[in-house]
Amino acid sequence: MSLWNDTQDDAAEKRQVLSVRQVNDAISDAIGMAFPSTIWVRGEVQRFPPDAAHRKHLYFELQETGGSGAAEYQIAMALMGWDRQRYGLGRYVDGTDPDFQITNKLEVCLECKVDFYAKFGKISLKIVGVDKTFALGKLEARRRETLAFLTERGLLNKNSALPMPELPLRIGLITSPESAAHHDFMTGIVASGWAFEVSLCGAKMQGEMLQAEVIAALENHQANLVDVIIITRGGGSRADLSWFDQRDLAVAIAESPVPVITAIGHEIDTSIADLVAHQSCKTPTAAAELLVEIIDLAARRLDDAAEDLLAVITSRLDEARRRLQVADQLPGLADRVLLSARLGVQELAGHLLHRVGGNLAGRRESLSHLAARLHTGAHRVIMQNDGLLQGVGPRLSRAALHRLISVERELHQQKTRLVREAPKPTVAAQLKLAQLAEKTRLLDPARLLARGYSLTVDSDGKTITDAARLSPGDSILTQFAAGQVRSIVQPGSGPRKPKSTKGKKRGSKQEETGQKSLFR
Q: How far apart are CA 171 and CA 196, in angstroms?
A: 7
The answer to the question of residue 313 being in a domain is: no
Q: What is the pLDDT of residue 407?
A: 76
Q: What is the pLDDT of residue 39?
A: 93
330-376 helix and 284-328 helix, angle to the nearest 10 degrees:
20
- Kindly state whether residues 156 and 290 are assigned to the same domain: yes
The answer to the question of residue 467 being in a domain is: yes
The answer to the question of residue 396 being in a domain is: yes
Q: What is the CATH number of the domain that holds 194?
A: 3.40.50.261
Q: What is the CATH number of the domain that holds 70?
A: 2.40.50.140
- Kindly state whether residues 353 and 416 are assigned to the same domain: yes
Q: What is the pLDDT of residue 510?
A: 40
- Kindly state whether residues 491 and 396 are assigned to the same domain: no
The answer to the question of residue 195 being in a domain is: yes
Q: What is the pLDDT of residue 136?
A: 72
Q: How far apart are CA 216 and CA 84, in angstroms?
A: 38
Q: Judge contact between 507 and 467, C-beta under 8 A.
A: yes
The answer to the question of residue 397 being in a domain is: yes
> What is the number of structural domains in the chain?
4
* Per-residue pLDDT band at 41 (split at 50, 70, 90): very high
- Percentage, residues of the chain above pLDDT 90: 35
More confident residue, 217 or 512: 217
Q: How far apart are CA 419 and CA 179, in angstroms?
A: 90
Q: Which of 248, 275, 297 is the last residue of a domain?
A: 297
- Which residue, 296, 295, 303, 297, is CA-closest to 465? 303
At a CB cut-off of 8 Å and minimum separation 6, what does 147 contact? 156, 272, 275
Q: How far apart are CA 441 and CA 438, in angstroms?
A: 5
At a CB cut-off of 8 Å and minimum separation 6, what does 130 contact? 89, 92, 100, 102, 108, 109, 110, 111
Amino acid at 459: S
Q: What is the pLDDT of residue 352?
A: 66
Q: Which of 81, 103, 130 is the last residue of a domain?
A: 130
- Which residue, 499, 506, 518, is CA-closest to 294? 499
The answer to the question of residue 426 being in a domain is: yes
- Kindly state whether residues 240 and 146 are assigned to the same domain: yes
* Mean pLDDT value across residues 30-36: 91
- Kindly state whether residues 292 and 349 are assigned to the same domain: no
Q: Is the pLDDT of residue 516 over 50?
A: no
Instruction: Measure the CA angle with vertex 439, ends 434 and 441; round to 5°.
Output: 95
**Residue range 255-285, pLDDT digits in tens:** 999 999 999 876 666 888 999 999 999 899 9
Q: What is the pLDDT of residue 519?
A: 31
Q: What is the pLDDT of residue 72?
A: 80
- Kindly state whether residues 265 and 151 are assigned to the same domain: yes
- Which residue, 225, 50, 247, 71, is CA-closest to 155? 247
- Kindly state whether residues 420 and 492 are assigned to the same domain: no
- Percentage, residues of the chain above pLDDT 70: 77
Q: What is the pLDDT of residue 206?
A: 85
- Kindly state whether residues 205 and 91 are assigned to the same domain: no
The whole-chain average pLDDT of the chain stands at 81
Q: Judge contact between 206 and 179, C-beta under 8 A.
A: no
**Residue range 192-246, pLDDT digits in tens:** 999 999 999 999 988 888 999 999 999 999 999 999 999 999 877 777 778 898 8
* Per-residue pLDDT band at 392 (split at 50, 70, 90): low
Q: How far apart are CA 391 and CA 260, in angstroms?
A: 117
- Kindly state whether residues 336 and 224 are assigned to the same domain: no
Distances (CA, A) of 345 to 337, 359, 415, 417, 450: 12, 21, 7, 11, 55
Which residue range forms the structural domain that includes residue 255? 142-297
- Kindly state whether residues 156 and 289 are assigned to the same domain: yes
More confident residue, 252 or 103: 252
> Which is it for strands 170-175 and 197-202: parallel, antiparallel or unpaired?
parallel
Q: Judge contact between 481 and 446, C-beta under 8 A.
A: yes
Q: Is the pLDDT of residue 149 over 80?
A: yes
* Mean pLDDT value across residues 481-507: 64
Q: What is the pLDDT of residue 421?
A: 72
Q: Is the pLDDT of residue 515 over 80?
A: no
Distances (CA, A) of 154 to 149, 160, 248, 488: 9, 12, 15, 59
Q: Which of 130, 165, 182 is the last residue of a domain?
A: 130
Among 143-157, 327-341, 458-472, the least confident range: 327-341
* Per-residue pLDDT band at 362 (split at 50, 70, 90): low
- Kindly state whether residues 151 and 73 are assigned to the same domain: no
The answer to the question of residue 317 being in a domain is: no
- Kindly state whether residues 358 and 457 are assigned to the same domain: no
Taking the mean position of all CA atoms in its chain, how far away is CA 350?
80
**Residue range 95-148, pLDDT digits in tens:** 888 778 888 888 899 999 999 988 888 999 999 999 888 877 777 778 888 888
The answer to the question of residue 233 being in a domain is: yes
**Residue range 396-441, pLDDT digits in tens:** 556 667 777 887 788 778 777 777 776 676 777 778 777 877 777 7
Q: What is the pLDDT of residue 425?
A: 67
